[in-house]
Amino acid sequence: MAVGLGPLPAMHPVPGIRMGTTSAGIKTPGRRDLVVFELCEGSRVAAVFTRNRFCAAPVTVAREHLGAAAPRYLLVNTGNANAGTGQRGLEDARDCCARLAELTGVSPQAVLPFSTGVIGEPLPSQRILDALPSALESLADSGWSEAASGILTTDTLPKGASRRVRVGEADITLTGIAKGAGMIRPDMATMLAFIATDAELPQELLDRALTEAVRYSFNRITVDGDTSTNDACVLIATGKVSVTDEVAYRAFVDALTDICTQLAQAVVRDGEGATRFITVQVENGASQAECEAVAYTIAHSPLVKTAAFAGDPNWGRILAAIGRAGIDDLDVSAVRIWLDDYLIAEQGGRADGYLEAEAAARMNRDEVTVRVDLARGQSAAVVWTTDFSYDYVRINAEYRS
């Protein structure tokens, strides 16, 4: 039921990156569920991970390895999150890294593991170990589309973005894939995202670029308000094209943010059971933080989301969400609310001339914008979310069956 999400665009190969995808039968026999990324020597990696205190075993191991060696391989499995698995989960993640390292002649610390799927079940690591040779045999620089499919869980479509852009005096490539449809309220990134570029940047600038891009993309989406145990967003730079000055760096960050935004919005468009893509735009706040608080309170409200599913312009639910967003000195008489271009509330109540049919026409669109003017400053924020449908409940009720 993806809203406005089509097939993958042309996925430009990134010099220095190859991907191999295979089926390990982790959850569903015959389904592609194991992906290996091979990074050329000299690549740099920046990553951000979930802040959930019950972080998955692969998150713990990836953090350890990232600080110990230059990454040469990423190992990604779907079908099992290897989260809530205690010491055994850590050992399983390390065993998988060690086996891939043995097969490729690198140190185990040069392998970063990532997992997604059911929480609380032991990782069937032997299936992964057995499938690694097949994944390595399929390594290709054109493997982005297969990898995008190989990391999916409840997603209905693979998600990718790719562009070539002029940065300073050179052309660079940025290509990325992401997965996620439920348990989406990132506190750093989405469930899994992998982005590669042939740009060359110092580690400090690479880390800074990813942090900034994530802030305005993956950290501005929500499907259900649940932050995953496995969230990770990885940026790989193979160092083929130098980004040498501040102007070029800013152009790179803008291009990276664009790629991340496309991927983040694709996650929302494919939200579990989604029938509407909703933009919540809050403006004229006293600070960006309070604008974000208002936007997320609206976007997380089950009452707002279920009304949206019904195409019901129930502006009272939006009004109530704004009022409980934590702005103690909010002047409610100054707040105005629109659905797309139609003013629905002002001066503490329904807007003069409000017509239910006009408001319903806006809310019944596949894509709708809820715009809120707080009238108390010059800051703004935007969040992207979905409605809640019957299918969201069904998908999550049946997730382990």
Which two structure tokens, joined as six digits, stand for 367?
């894509």
How far is residue 377's CA from residue 393's CA, in Å, rounded to a whole number? Answer: 39
Which two structure tokens, joined as six digits, stand for 3?
């809203």
CB 381 within 8 A of CB 292: yes
CB 61 within 8 A of CB 108: no
Choosing from 21, 78, 190, 386, the catalytic residue is 190
How far is residue 211's CA from residue 213's CA, in Å, rounded to a whole number? Answer: 6
Q: Which of 279, 290, 301 is nearest to 384 (CA)?
A: 279
CB 389 within 8 A of CB 309: yes
H-helix or E-strand spanning residue 357: helix 356-363
366: which residues sit within 8 A by CB, 6+ positions away? Answer: 3, 4, 275, 276, 277
3-state secondary structure of 185: coil
How far is residue 307's CA from residue 323's CA, in Å, rounded to a whole number? Answer: 18
How far is residue 317's CA from residue 357's CA, in Å, rounded to a whole number? Answer: 18
CB 154 within 8 A of CB 272: yes
How far is residue 47's CA from residue 77's CA, in Å, rounded to a whole number? Answer: 17
Q: Which of 233, 259, 219 is nearest to 383 (CA)?
A: 219
CA 222 to chain centre: 9
Q: Which of 17, 83, 336, 44 is nearest to 226 (CA)?
A: 83
Is 275 considered catalytic here? no
How far is residue 228's CA from residue 192's CA, in Å, rounded to a whole number? Answer: 10
How far is residue 1's CA from residue 310's CA, in Å, rounded to a whole number? Answer: 15
Catalytic residues: 190
